[in-house]
Amino acid sequence: MNDDAEQPSGRLAIRTLAMPADTNPRGDIFGGWLLGQMDLAGGITAWSRANGRVATVGIESVRFLHPVNVGDVVNIYAEVVRIGTTSLTIKVDVWVERRSQLHRLVKVTEGMFIFVAIDEKSQKRPVPPS
C-alpha cells in the first residue's frame, strides 16, 4: 500500500479525482483546491462528532509535502484530536494514488483545522459528550 512506515490515520472522509480544471499555471493541482477539500473532510468529521452544524474558525497548520497531479486519486483522512467546550481540532491528512502506481499511497499534505459547534442561529454551542 505505502512504502513509507507511516500509514493513513483517522477515517477516510473524502475520496475524489484531481482534474485538469483545478491546476495552477505549472500544471500541478492548485493548493487552494486541496485546502478546500481538506476543509470539507474536516467539516464532515467535526459535524459527525459535534452532532450537528459546525463552522471552520481556523487552520492551525498546513504542510504541503508533495504536489498533487492531474489524475491522482485523492484520499482525505480526518480524525478528532482535541475537543474543547465548543470547539474541535481535526487532523486532516491527504494521501494520493498516482495514476502510474495505483494502490500505492503517497502522503502529500497534512493540516490541523479548528471548527466550532454552532446552533441554528449560528451561535456557539457546547460539543456534546461522546
Number of structural domains, the chain?
1
In a domain, 122, yes or no: no
What is 27-62 written as a DSSP string?
Answer: SSBPHHHHHHHHHHHHHHHHHHHHTS-EEEEEEEEE
Domain that holds residue 100: 11-117
Q: Is the dihedral of CA 25, 28, 64, 54 positive or negative?
A: positive
Sheet holding 54-64, edge to edge: 11-17, 73-83, 87-97, 105-117, 54-64
In a domain, 1, yes or no: no
In a domain, 62, yes or no: yes
In a domain, 6, yes or no: no
Convert the pLDDT of each residue in 53-68 to its tens digit. 999 999 999 999 999 9
Residue with cell 482525505: 76
At residue 102, the pLDDT reads 73
* DSSP 8-state code for residue 118: B
Residue 86 has pLDDT above 60, yes or no: yes
Convert the pLDDT of each residue in 4-30 to its tens digit. 558 999 999 999 999 999 998 888 999
Name the band, by pLDDT with cuts 50, 70 and 90, for residue 101. confident
What is the domain-level CATH number for residue 100? 3.10.129.10
In a domain, 5, yes or no: no
In a domain, 129, yes or no: no
